Structure 1
């Protein structure tokens, strides 16, 4: 299919940042429904502002000038009552930059950690905004506003030596010019074609981005319908599990509807599909009559059930500690078809999870792709007993080796398994002796891809011989208190004054597999002896944890209730 030509050639212009963000705040900049969701993280936003103050080019914008109805818009974290206008600018290319500027420079943007930024005058860098105002660390909404910056220096006269520097930053931010092309075109298909070409030359769109663009829905429903970003945000806000990436959300939504998550997505909601239970070359869709919004809503419900199971029964408190993402995808499919399995079946499902995590996807052809396919096809609608037996049969490998504690890498599955085993110990703070809560993890980790920010060293790295620096023995799972990330050596050697009794201190140490004898080794500066003793204790703890969770020596006997129902000739409970 060929698209029409542009009615008029693009018009080149320049927008300074002040004008651009004011247009965004007033609702005169709109995001068309075929655009991908906002994907940048905090580091991307910081780099944008750093480029601006350095005078680096930040790329050009492509804007579509046409009319727009009055609407309640959501632009990043901002909610805007936008008036009807004949001269709205719709963003064809440049959404990430515009949303970043509009949110980081607006006071309401601070509600989202990606946009909660400040400029540190001491080091000339953009940094995360501190929770309590500091004279020389000025929030971006303040340093961007001429009136607010004057008030700031009136409030903090001790910062007077930095007035000139701050004014230079203010001027640079407000006056920085961004080139743009404006297109006047009535045919939305032409602009969608431009968008597709711009985003498929060079860096390819992810599968989730393609899917979102294909099934974006009608423009008038933008903001009402679920998107993958909204689903991920809802899971994080309700369950504190962290932000699940969009490709995993897509696969989970697809898995609920049919076992082949690698199927052709362009026909997902067309009529040319196989009905449930048949397969003749086209993808199996078990809910063929669903529309897009229903599929997203029920997919979200399945993801939430899977996450609650992971947190409450499996022992995976946060997405960054999930060993493999395909396990969440398979669990979503399972809970979509069997939302309320009884306690015995939930135990068997937990057993499958840990066996699959320890075994890893390498035993399947295609690794994670093969594992996703095998596990999803193992879950058969209306057959709870058979589905669990299928899943368990795929990972019957009792001789699988344990994760290697000599290689601690927070982005690797083996280390994530170790971290889950440590969480199962109910770790306590070495600051006050109290157990950590799941909220402590979610508050620190939020959108982090790994759990590195909640792992602290006992001994400073430079004090550990090179051969032992990757050992788990020098690390504990301990969310930092008040952003303190210093090594914990002193608190292991001697009871902190903030812990009222030796008994409570010993309990805190024990929750991290540290004995009083190990503390004495550390106090005598016997670093290697300490590491070897603790490594041995951690190895035993991990083996015990996985033995209890994998239950290799136990029979996979189905639930008695299910067996009785089968004997009576009834369908097992827990259907879709």
Structure 2
């Protein structure tokens, strides 16, 4: 699948129209489906705090930047923005948002929501302090109903008047009424500048988008690719973000868009990352649709392999994410590998993680990708294994300082998971999905609990080691209390704790507890790594691949 790049320098037939939109007109156009937030645009990176800052800027009259809109045809459909579901009739002159999605989506979610507290971006205005705030507690609103103005009513002056009559009709509420009316007028009438580009030549739009992107805060490569190639039709998936969202349904966690974008590039025959001077690829509509579909299907195969063959049950536990991309080329060329190949690929995953070989830069990734051959599944795996090198002299140890952000922390977490930890309250086996939650796991999952608390001002290495970590949901009163009260030896062993170690915990002898736990865990962790990596096992391919047909001899 080849990229269809156009040389730069083509002028626009018509100059972009410079105009302004009042916030009221802008959001009315969004509600009618005239302004579209295309599926090929970037994923929403703003949160309610960013939306609050934007509203503050509008209220104060600060500049909020210029929008870039592309006038083009649009099919009928249904737009979804946060909690909003908006009609999107077919039209010839829809305005697709090329630059400004974050601002428009934030305004829509705050000001157009049907109910005051329905959207995760919901905001109120404190009429006494003239401040934008998160929704106050229901009790505070009931106690002083005229103080807290929901921003869902300010875009329509008639709705605002009805709210004021219902909640702030008394004479003593006059200052609040005046503040509310002034706020509504400032927000509705604020004018945002915009350029409207009219051209059927998408390569020109691509050039404009790239220049805007490089001149301001950089977008991810995946954002740019989606902006240039994502389908405006209703077919799915049509963005890298949609692929990531759909893959979450497999229970493997959230896969970063940058990794999926690299996977997509490899699958369509491009270098794994875009060079600084490279022009972003522009694919034909059918090619783009196939690229997204292929990426989603290949990523699903990788997930099944990692979970079923490599024993890695969650994306956050994958020590080096670049291996996901490398596996993508293999499963694209060999979608149904033999059991033996999967076994050897699992060794490749673990050996590269334990030795750090998967940590490599783009150059080393290209070298591994070059070893994956279209005409030979077995020689592909041979080449990948050869790139790993000998076993490391030192493997991650439970006495090492623990940090989940690093590969060693993830490897030690996998070793603890291999003990099949059980809930200390219910006795049920805990799964990676229960223990690792999106948004927490990237730095340190809340379920990787410290058994003994850290001491302020003291750099105690033992307290910072994996021996002081427990894979368990947070428990009232702490897990130390639960451990001390547990006499079920199988339950304790599922967390790497011997009866002797538990007794030291009961005696409040923390140092002895950590020492005994490390001694119990160490041989089991090392055996787990050895078993997964299979360093001492033969790496020959399947017997079937070694048999030469008489006609080929």
Q: Is TM more than 0.5 here?
A: yes
Report the counterpart of residue 446 of structure 2 in structure 1. 453
Q: C-alpha displacement at 1:193, in angstroms?
A: 4.4
Report the counterpart of residue 159 of structure 1 in structure 2. none
1: CA distance between counterparts of 2:344 and 2:181? 60
1:29-48 per-position Cα deviation (integer Å, ceiling 9, x unaligned): 21357x6322416xx33332
Deviates more, 1:447-456 or 1:486-495: 447-456
* Cα pair 1:243 1:447 within 8 Å, conserved: no
Rate the CA distance shift 1:15–1:570 in 2: closer, same or farther, 3 A.
farther
Do residues 526 (structure 1) and 526 (structure 2) align? no
Q: C-alpha displacement at 1:419, in angstroms?
A: 1.5
Q: Secondary structure at the match of 1:4?
A: coil
1:78-130 per-position Cα deviation (integer Å, ceiling 9, x unaligned): 54322356775442322023223434667699999xx63567999x9977x99
Q: Secondary structure at the match of 2:464?
A: coil
Report the counterpart of residue 483 of structure 2 in structure 1. 492
Q: C-alpha displacement at 1:228, in angstroms?
A: 1.0
Rate the CA distance shift 1:270–1:85 in 2: closer, same or farther, 3 A.
closer
Report the counterpart of residue 3 of structure 2 in structure 1. none
1:502-542 per-position Cα deviation (integer Å, ceiling 9, x unaligned): 43xx4332212122322222222222222222233333332
* Cα pair 2:307 2:313 within 8 Å, conserved: yes
Report the counterpart of residue 30 of structure 2 in structure 1. 24
Rate the CA distance shift 1:560–1:401 in 2: closer, same or farther, 3 A.
same
1:48 to 43, 51, 72: 51
Report the counterpart of residue 574 of structure 1 in structure 2. none
Report the counterpart of residue 157 of structure 1 in structure 2. none
Q: What TM-score do the two structures reach when normalised by structure 2? A: 0.78
Q: Pairwise mapping of residues 289-438 of structure 1 onto structure 2 (< 5 A)?
A: 291-361=287-357, 367-405=360-398, 406-438=400-432
Q: Pairwise mapping of residues 426-575 of structure 1 onto structure 2 (< 5 A)?
A: 426-441=420-435, 444-445=437-438, 449-450=442-443, 452-462=445-455, 465-468=458-461, 469-480=463-474, 487-495=478-486, 502-503=487-488, 506-564=489-547, 566-567=548-549
Rate the CA distance shift 1:557–1:192 in 2: closer, same or farther, 3 A.
closer
Q: C-alpha displacement at 1:306, in angstroms?
A: 0.5
Q: C-alpha displacement at 1:310, in angstroms?
A: 0.8
Q: C-alpha displacement at 1:394, in angstroms?
A: 1.2
Do residues 204 (structure 1) and 204 (structure 2) align? no
Q: Pairwise mapping of residues 8-407 of structure 1 onto structure 2 (< 5 A)?
A: 10-15=18-23, 21=27, 23-31=29-37, 36-40=41-45, 44-49=47-52, 52=55, 59-64=64-69, 66=71, 69=74, 71-77=76-82, 78-84=84-90, 88-103=94-109, 116=120, 143-145=150-152, 176=187, 179-187=191-199, 192-217=206-231, 219=232, 221=233, 224=236, 226-237=238-249, 239-258=250-269, 260-262=271-273, 266=279, 291-361=287-357, 367-405=360-398, 406-407=400-401
Q: Secondary structure at the match of 1:182?
A: strand
* Cα pair 2:449 2:470 within 8 Å, conserved: yes
Q: C-alpha displacement at 1:562, in angstroms?
A: 2.1
Query: What is the total number of aligned residue pairs between the two structures?
Result: 509
Rate the CA distance shift 1:97–1:456 in 2: closer, same or farther, 3 A.
farther
Rate the CA distance shift 1:215–1:47 in 2: closer, same or farther, 3 A.
closer
Q: CA RMSD in A?
A: 4.3
Q: What TM-score do the two structures reach when normalised by structure 1? A: 0.75
1: CA distance between counterparts of 2:377 and 2:483? 48
Q: C-alpha displacement at 1:335, in angstroms?
A: 1.4
* Cα pair 2:351 2:388 within 8 Å, conserved: yes
1:266-320 per-position Cα deviation (integer Å, ceiling 9, x unaligned): 586789xxxxxxxxxxxxxxxxxx8232232122211110111111221222222
* Cα pair 1:207 1:247 within 8 Å, conserved: yes
2: CA distance between counterparts of 1:558 and 1:535? 37
Q: C-alpha displacement at 1:567, in angstroms?
A: 4.8
1:455-489 per-position Cα deviation (integer Å, ceiling 9, x unaligned): 22222334794223421222222244xxx687422
1:144-188 per-position Cα deviation (integer Å, ceiling 9, x unaligned): 44599x99xx9xxxxxxxxx99x9999969964665113344336
Q: C-alpha displacement at 1:390, in angstroms?
A: 1.0
Q: C-alpha displacement at 1:6, in angstroms?
A: 6.1
* Cα pair 2:301 2:331 within 8 Å, conserved: yes
Residue ranges of structure 2 left out of the alignment (5+ in a row): 1-8, 143-148, 154-158, 167-174
Q: Secondary structure at the match of 1:37?
A: coil
Rate the CA distance shift 1:67–1:392 in 2: closer, same or farther, 3 A.
closer
* Cα pair 1:61 1:181 within 8 Å, conserved: yes
Rate the CA distance shift 1:170–1:436 in 2: closer, same or farther, 3 A.
farther
Rate the CA distance shift 1:432–1:101 in 2: closer, same or farther, 3 A.
farther
Rate the CA distance shift 1:343–1:292 in 2: closer, same or farther, 3 A.
same
Which protein has the larger Cα radius of gyration, Structure 1 or Structure 2?
A: 2
Deviates more, 1:539-548 or 1:320-329: 539-548
2: CA distance between counterparts of 1:203 and 1:134? 39
* Cα pair 1:454 1:477 within 8 Å, conserved: yes
* Cα pair 1:464 1:527 within 8 Å, conserved: no
Rate the CA distance shift 1:410–1:399 in 2: closer, same or farther, 3 A.
closer
2: CA distance between counterparts of 1:168 and 1:539? 66
Q: C-alpha displacement at 1:543, in angstroms?
A: 1.0
Report the counterpart of residue 287 of structure 1 in structure 2. none
* Cα pair 1:408 1:415 within 8 Å, conserved: yes
* Cα pair 1:240 1:439 within 8 Å, conserved: yes
Q: Secondary structure at the match of 1:467?
A: coil
